[in-house]
Amino acid sequence: MESEKTYLQNLILNRKVVRNYVESDKTFPALKEIPKLTIKIPTAGFSRGIEIISITSKTNINKLAYFANEESYLKKGFGKWISNSKAIFLILINQEAYHERYEKMDKQNETNSTSWSVPYWYVDAGAAMMNCMLLIDETGLKSGFLGSHNMAISEIKSLLKIPENIEILGFVTAGVEDTTNRNNKQKTSQKKLIHEEIYEK
C-alpha cells in the first residue's frame, strides 16, 4: 500500500504557476505573514543578502502591471494577471552583502565571492522565490512568477525607492485563478530529469 503523502508533498504536487487572475473582494490576512517566512532561507555564509518588498496597494499593483508590460500580454489574448493580483512580492538581491560577508576574517580561506562559479545570491533568491510561492498556495490563492528581464526596471526602482545597487529577481504574484480563461500551453517533450548514480539521457 502506497504511503500517504505529507502536507508538504501534497502542496508541492498540486502547486502550479498561474498567470491569469480574476478580481476579488475577498481578503487574505495570511498574506501579511509571507514576507518574513519567504526570506527564512539558508544564505551563503549567512550573508542575508536576499530582501523582499510586499505590495498590496491596488494603485501600486496597477503601476507595476504597467511597468511589467501587461498590456502586451493582453493583446496576445492572455487574461489579466499582474493587475488582478491580491499581492505582489518583489524578491531583491543585495550582492554587496555577499561580498562584505566573504571579506570577513572567518571567510578569508574561502573562495572569494567574486570568483564563484555559481553566484550563490541567485541560488538563495530562487530558494526565497519557492518559499514565497508555496506560502501563497497555502493561503488558498494561486502563485505566479515574472522575471525582471521584460520590465521597466528603472521605473520600478524609482516607484518603490529601491537603491540602484539592488537587483530585482522578479515578481511573485498572488491571486485568484481565472478558470474561465485558460490558454492552451504548448506541450514540451518528455525527457529524463531524475537520475540515479549517473547521468542518463
Tens digit of each residue's pLDDT (9 = 90 or more) over 44-66: 999 999 999 999 999 999 999 99
Q: What would the grid cell of residue 188 be?
A: 514540451
Please tell me whether residue 17 adopts helix, strand or coil conformation: strand
Tens digit of each residue's pLDDT (9 = 90 or more) over 101-159: 998 878 877 778 888 999 999 999 999 999 999 999 999 999 999 999 989 999 999 99
pLDDT computed for residue 185 by the predictor: 58
Element spanning 63, H or E: helix 58-67
Extended beta strands in the chain, E state: 21-22, 50-55, 87-93, 142-147, 167-177
Task: Please name each of the domains of the chain with its CATH number.
Answer: 14-177 (3.40.109.10)
Tens digit of each residue's pLDDT (9 = 90 or more) over 72-92: 989 998 889 999 999 999 999
pLDDT surpassing 90 at residue 29: yes
